Amino acid sequence: MSHRIVRKTELLLLALLAVLVGACPLASAQSIHLPPHEKIVLKNGLTVLLLQKRGVPLVDLSAVVKTGAAADPAGQDGLASVTAALLRKGTKTRTAQQFAADLDFIGAEFDADATSDFTAIRANFLTKDLSKGLELFADALLHPTFPQGETDKILAQSLDGVKAAKDEPQAVLGLYFNGYLFGSAPYGRPSDGDELSLKRIPRDAIVKFYEAHYAPGNTILAVAGEFDSAAMKKQLDETLGSWPARAVTPVSIPVTPPAKGKRLLLIDKPDATQTYFAIGNLGTAVDDPDRVAIRVVNTVFGGRFTSELNEALRVESGYTYGAGSFFDSRKVPGPFEIASFTKNETTLPAIDLALQVLDNLHKNGLTPEQLASAKSYLKGQYPPSIETSAQLARRIALNEFYGFTDDEVNQLEARIDAVTPEIARRVIEKHFPADNLVFVLIGKASEIRPVVKKYASQMDERSINDPGFWPPPASTTK
C-alpha cells in the first residue's frame, strides 16, 4: 500500500522464501538445529508431531493432507482449494456463522488451502484456549457438511477472486507461466481454479473429494508451541483419535519434460504502463540431491538484493524496482523462473539484460567471493525462518510429508559449507536453463508486441480479460 513504501520489492522476498523452502531449523546458540520433537502415530493412522516451544503462550497446529490440487480432475481446477475453504463453512454441529463466532471470540485463527502437492490446514490460539481451539480444529477437519448455500457462495467468491487477481499483473504472472510451461499437466493448472473451471464444480464433487482424500492415514498433524505434552496427547486422542480410518489411493503426479526451443506468451493488458515478465523452464523436485547447492547458486544469481539479476536490472540500470529468480520445487520438478517488470519503453533492454545475466552465469560460474558471500547470507538469514511455532509446525510437517529427516535442517550448515566452485558449475549446467526458454509477458501488447517477437519462434497471445489462463479454455473443455 502506498502508506508504507518499502525499499525492496516483495518479489525478492518471495524469491528468498522460495529459496528457503525445504529445510527448517531452530537455532541453539551457534548452529542451526530443529528443537527436539516427538512423532506418534494414532491408532487410526494419523501421524502426529509434537514440538514444545516456550516464549509466548500460543499453540499452532499445521496439518498436511497429502493430496492437493494436482488431484483436481481436468476441467475442475480449484476443487481441492474449494474443498479446503469449505471445511469451516458448516459442520455437523455448527453453521459457518457459529464456527466463525466461536473461533473469533477466543481470537483464534483457522485457514485451509491447497497447493498442487498437498492441502494445508492451520490454526492457532492461546494456550489457555487449547481445548476449545482443538475442538474447533477437529470439528472442521472431521465433520464438514458442505452446505449447498455455502458451497455456492465460496464458488462464486473464488470466481470473483480470479477476476480481482487479474487486476494485479504480479498476482497472475506465475499462473500464466505455469500454464504455458506445463500445459494441461497438473502443475500447469491454477490450484485456485479459473473463471470457467469453478463453474463446473458441483457440490457432490466436493463431497467425493473430501471422502476420497481426507483420512487420518493420509494426514500429518504438527503441533508446536507452549503446551503440556502428556495432556496434549490425551486431548489429541480424544478429538482426532475418533477420525475413522479410511483407505486413500495416492495421487501420482506425472513428470513434465523441460520445454524445448523458445516460446513466448504475451498477455495483453492495454492499460499497463509496465511489462511484467517471467522467463524460465522446468526446475527441480524438492528432494533433488543438488538442492542445497542450487539454493547457494540461486542466491548469487537471483535470490537476494545483491544478486546478479537485481544488481543488473535495478542497481546498475534502474530498469526496475526488483528482479529475482526462484525454483518453486515440488514433489516432482516444478517451475524455475526469472521474474521482473519494467516500463513499457524499456521492455526490450530489460529482457535482453536478464538474458545476458543468465548467459554470464553459464559462462563465468561463481567467483570464490560470491560463493562465500552466499553461504554466509543463507546461514545468517536462516534462523528467523524457523522462529515461530507456526513456522516450526509447518516445517516439521513438510519434512515428514516430503520424507526428509531432521538432517534437512540440522545438516544444512554443513551442506552449505560443502558447496565448491566445481559443484556450483555443475549445478549451473544441469539446473539453470540456457537456450531452451519459456517467456511469459503481461503488458500493453500494442506497444511491446513488435519488439518482443525476436525472443521466440513460437508466439502466442491472449487478452487478460479472456477467461482462464493457459491453455485457452477450448482445449481444456470436454
Partner 1 sequence: MKAFRSRNLALLVLCAASLIASAAHAQSNDFPVSTRTLKNGMKVLVQPDHSIPNVALYIFYRIGSRNERPGTTGLSHFFEHMMFNGAKKYGPGELDKAEEANGASNNAYTTRDVTVYQDWFPHSAINLIFDIEADRIRDLTFDPKKIASEREVVASERRLSVDNNNPGLLDEQLWATAFIAHPYQWPVVGWMSDIQHWTMDDLKHHFEMGYSPSNATMVVVGDVSPDEIFQLCEKFIEPIPSHAPPPPVTTLEPEQLGERKLVVRKPAQLPLLMIGYHVPQTNNPDFYALNVLRTVLFQGESSRMYQRLVDKDQIALDVSADSEPGFDPTLVIITAQPRQGIDPQLCEKAIYEELDKLKSSSITDQELEKAKNNRLVEFYKQMQTINGRANTIGTYEVFLGDYHKLFDAAKNYAAVTKDDVQRVAKQYFGANNRTVATLLPEQEEKAKP
Binding span for partner 1 by CB under 8 A among 135-143, 237-245, 339-347, 419-427: 339-347
User: Residue 472 and residue 78: Cα distance in Å, rounded?
Assistant: 17
Binding span for partner 1 by CB under 8 A among 209-217, 279-287, 310-318, 431-439: 310-318
Choose which of 17, 40, 56, 255 interacts with partner 1 (CB under 8 A). Answer: 56
Please identify, using beta-carbon distances, which residue of 243 and 319 lies nearer to partner 1. Answer: 319
C-alpha cell at 90: 458448516
Smallest distance, partner 1 to C-beta of residue 154, A: 9
CA angle 467–178–194, rounded 5-degree value: 25
User: Residue 197 and residue 179: Cα distance in Å, rounded?
Assistant: 14
Please identify, using beta-carbon distances, which residue of 49 and 464 lies nearer to partner 1. Answer: 464
Choose which of 218, 284, 325, 342 interacts with partner 1 (CB under 8 A). Answer: 342
Interface with partner 1, residue 384, by CB under 8 A = yes
Binding span for partner 1 by CB under 8 A among 154-162, 199-207, 325-333, 357-365: 154-162
Site string for partner 1, 172-211 (x = CB under 8 A): --------------------x-------------------
- Pairing relationship of beta strands 335-343 and 323-327 according to DSSP bridges: antiparallel
Choose which of 38, 39, 111, 202 interacts with partner 1 (CB under 8 A). Answer: 111
Please identify, using beta-carbon distances, which residue of 169 and 334 lies nearer to partner 1. Answer: 169
Please identify, using beta-carbon distances, which residue of 285 and 348 lies nearer to partner 1. Answer: 348
In three-state form (DSSP H/G/I as H, E/B as E, the rest C), the secondary structure along 276-326 is: EEEEEEECCECCCCCHHHHHHHHHHHHCCCCCHHHHHHHHHCCCCCCEEEE
DSSP per-residue letters across 371-427: HHHHHHHHHHHSGGGG-SHHHHHHHHHHHHHHT--THHHHTHHHHHHT--HHHHHHH
- Pairing relationship of beta strands 47-52 and 219-225 according to DSSP bridges: parallel
Contact between residue 334 and residue 328 where contact means Cβ atoms under 8 Å apart: yes
Choose which of 17, 40, 148, 168 interacts with partner 1 (CB under 8 A). Answer: 168
Interface with partner 1, residue 316, by CB under 8 A = yes
Choose which of 38, 104, 228, 238 interacts with partner 1 (CB under 8 A). Answer: 104
Choose which of 131, 273, 457, 475 interacts with partner 1 (CB under 8 A). Answer: 273
In DSSP terms, 47 is beta-bridged to: 41, 220
User: Residue 387 and residue 397: Cα distance in Å, rounded?
Assistant: 15
